[in-house]
Amino acid sequence: MANELQPARGTHDLIGEDQRRYQHIVDTARRIAASYGFEEWATPIFEDTRVFSRTLGETSDVVTKEMYTFEDRGGDSVTLRPEFTAGVCRALVSNGLTQSLPQKVFLAGPIFRYDRPQKGRYRQFHQLDLEVLGSAEPLADAEVIACGWDIIKALGVAQHVVPELNTLGDRESRQSYRDALVAYFTEHQAALSQDSLARLDRNPMRILDSKDPADRRLVADAPTITPYLTEAAAGFYDSVKRYLTQFGVPFTENPRIVRGLDYYGHTAFEFITTKLGAQDAVGGGGRYDGLVTQMGGPSVPAVGWALGIDRLALLLDEPPPVPSAVAVVPVGDSAEAIALGIVQTLRNAGIRAEIAYRGNLRRRMERANRIGARAAVIIGDDDIARGVAQVKNLQTGEQEAVALSELAERLR
């Protein structure tokens, strides 16, 4: 089959068990986010390229190497969203919502990055995303992290995940930390990788994120931000930690977290797992107080995270089972019209019910067994005359006549 087409590299179909895992993760997150008072938004999958290029950081890998950017037929440059946050800020401004703050937003859907595909890393993947727009309070930071942690717990994967926390300080803290890092790495620049050397001038904090083994040895002894924090930044960080403890979130501090996107200040965090090899982050986020201004809006302090659905799916033990159906089986042509009425009544009562499109009694019963139906509702001319149907329990084989008016109640 030389011409059989395959999914594009780095994409995958969600079918059967994979789709059930995906749906379970989104349903769980949606329920928990709603319980925290978040409202769901859906923003476009593609945006004006400037929404991302201006804001994620001109030196970030996402902008320099990973965006799916193209000119549309009208000559406009558009980009498939490589994350949700910038689009959410754009939407806040475009919809005039900067006057109705705070906004607590939840989203879920596909995200696109031209990354090198491997286990847990794809070119089309899926994120859950949570943002609080319009709060400068450290309680907002703690609340979004607590909500993420609750989702991870509800999915039953908390034993594989640790929330790791850091602060990137305020502008003043970052400036003095940056100077300290430049001094340190300049002293050791002969040992730095080519990539990190390029970052030394433009964004030295990103060196802390390098995967290069030689860089990592240097990073191990590099200064941390703690002594460079202003009193205000240190106080903010202490409050976030205090609230997290009050929320019961068991976090670990990791001064090496810098995040791969440039819009963060103050809180930065990741949900780390040891179960997925190199792809060790199931989620991450932080505070981004300047992003809405970059979108042309007023100053709107904000904090949020994204969780990788595909990575969470790899951690889930068992996907939830498919609820088993009731098969409605007419015997003879005249019974079919009644059977269609029954199948619709059951469906309207919220019962998963199926009717085969064709076939005699034997074929239809075979099909009922093949789809794993829990019961068959068999109806023939005699039954119609008596106003009943035969309900056969397909696990035990027991069969009894049930009045048509009582079917839905009995099969619930």
Of 277 and 387, CB closest to ligand HAM: 277
Among 47, 131, 164, 262, binds ligand HAM (CB under 6 A): 131
In the region spanning residues 274 to 333, those forming contacts with ligand HAM, defined by CB under 6 A, are 281-286, 288, 304-306, 308, 310-311
Handedness of CA 51, 29, 103, 163 (dihedral sign): negative
> Cβ of residue 286: shortest distance to ligand HAM, in angstroms?
6
Of 30 and 188, CB closest to ligand HAM: 30
The tokens describing 270, both together, are: 């990741």
Contacts of 82 (CB under 8 A, 6+ apart): 52, 56, 62, 66, 67, 68, 111, 112, 113
d(CA 70, CA 48): 10
Q: Give the residue at shortest CB distance from ligand HAM.
A: 308
Q: Would you call the peptide bond into 250 cis, given omega within 30 degrees of 0 as the criterion?
A: no
Size of the site for ligand HAM (CB under 6 A): 26
> Cβ of residue 96: shortest distance to ligand HAM, in angstroms?
21
Among 22, 38, 122, 243, binds ligand HAM (CB under 6 A): 122
Of 102 and 260, CB closest to ligand HAM: 260
Locate the DSSP E strands across 23-121: 39-40, 46-48, 68-71, 77-80, 103-112
Count CA within 13 A, CB hemisphere, residue 223: 19
d(CA 284, CA 108): 15
Sheet with 388-393: strands ordered across:
353-355, 326-330, 375-379, 388-393, 399-403
Of 251 and 305, CB closest to ligand HAM: 305
In the region spanning residues 49 to 88, those forming contacts with ligand HAM, defined by CB under 6 A, are 83-85
> Cβ of residue 11: shortest distance to ligand HAM, in angstroms?
11
How deeply is 227 buried, as exposed, middle or buried, from its count of CB atoms within 10 A (0-12, 13-18, 19+)? Answer: exposed
* Residue span 246-275 as binding mask against ligand HAM, x where in contact by CB under 6 A, dash where not: --------------xx--------------
| Binding interface with ligand HAM (CB under 6 A) | 83-85, 113, 115, 121-122, 125, 127, 129, 131, 260-261, 281-286, 288, 304-306, 308, 310-311
